Chain A
Amino acid sequence: MTKEELITKLKAIVAPYIQDEEAFKNLSEDTDFVTDLKINSANLVDIILDIEDEFDIRLENEDMEKMLDVKSAMTIVNSKLGS
């Protein structure tokens, strides 16, 4: 999967939970889920579960710990997919 494909998939996953449209429109690797997209911290777990379902992977507590921005999500997904 290319970087762009991965970002597109992650963008679709976070879409239902975002509370800042402007930051969502400009979503990039540097976008933070909480400080930029204003995603409620209780919904971060939904994003984690959606990522697990979408990529058919399982995330451990150590993975979840870093799941605060697009870049970390990409790194974790890639490492789990073994690419």
Chain B
Amino acid sequence: MVGNDIVDIAQAKKDSNWQRPRFLDKLFTLKEQQTIHASDNPCIMVWQLWSMKEAAYKLYTQINPSRFYNPKGFACEIDNKKGFIRFKNFNCYVETKITSDYIISEARLEIKSMTSKVTILESSEPKLQSKTIREEALKVAIKCLNISDENAIIANSDFNIPTLEIDSEVTPISLTHHGNYGAFAIA
């Protein structure tokens, strides 16, 4: 089981104004808002917490197939760059990597090093990005697992949750794309 999420920092700055009135309050717990305001770089902290929440949501919906919008419900704690998230009775660990261009988070049920592979995407069109990142993930899976490409597909289960299917065996997979970047993680 794995959930990941990538934020293209330049794209996020262009598309969202996190300083908009009530924006932070709608998405972040009081504790997270304090973390943002106390941070040396509040903008990066906003998107770091956001990517952590999205990654945890993807992991949660892989385990509990469903669809909803409740970023505030996924409460984040960051301790020495290690993330921990609680949502109702669900807990997970989140690893985050921040570069000057993007922020990527990967959520797991146990502490594990990041496995997400990041790719630069040429098209900014969401449908094409989704297609590219699926093809990349499939290529890597075929190579790593040494299988024939006819046997493997990336399918969408209910609620648009992707899975890697080899013959009839189903492996959870997480795909993400935003701005110029895409990434995938195979569980």
Contact = CB atoms under 8 A, between A and B. Distances in A.
Interface of A: 19-20, 35, 38, 40-46, 48-49, 52, 61, 64-68
A61 B72 contact: yes
A13 to B, nearest CB: 14
Interface of B: 7, 12, 15-16, 20-23, 26-27, 50, 54, 67-73, 125-127, 160, 178
Contacts of A61: 70, 72-73
A40 B178 contact: yes
A49 B7 CA distance: 21
Nearest to A72: B69
A43 B20 CA distance: 12
A65 B178 contact: no
Instruction: Report whether over half of chain B's contact residues are helix, strand or loop; otherwise say mixed.
Output: helix
B15 A42 contact: yes
Contact of B68 (A20, A43, A65): A65
Contacts of B20: 46, 49
25 contacts: A19-B126, A35-B160, A38-B127, A40-B15, A40-B178, A41-B54, A41-B69, A42-B16, A42-B50, A43-B15, A44-B69, A45-B26, A46-B16, A46-B20, A48-B26, A49-B20, A49-B22, A52-B22, A64-B26, A64-B70, A64-B72, A65-B69, A66-B68, A67-B69, A68-B67
B16 A49 contact: no
Contact of A49 (B26, B67, B126): B26
Contacts of B16: 42-43, 46
Tell me which of B26, B67, B70 has the highest count of chain A C-beta atoms within 10 A of its own C-beta: B26
A35 B127 CA distance: 10
A31 to B, nearest CB: 15
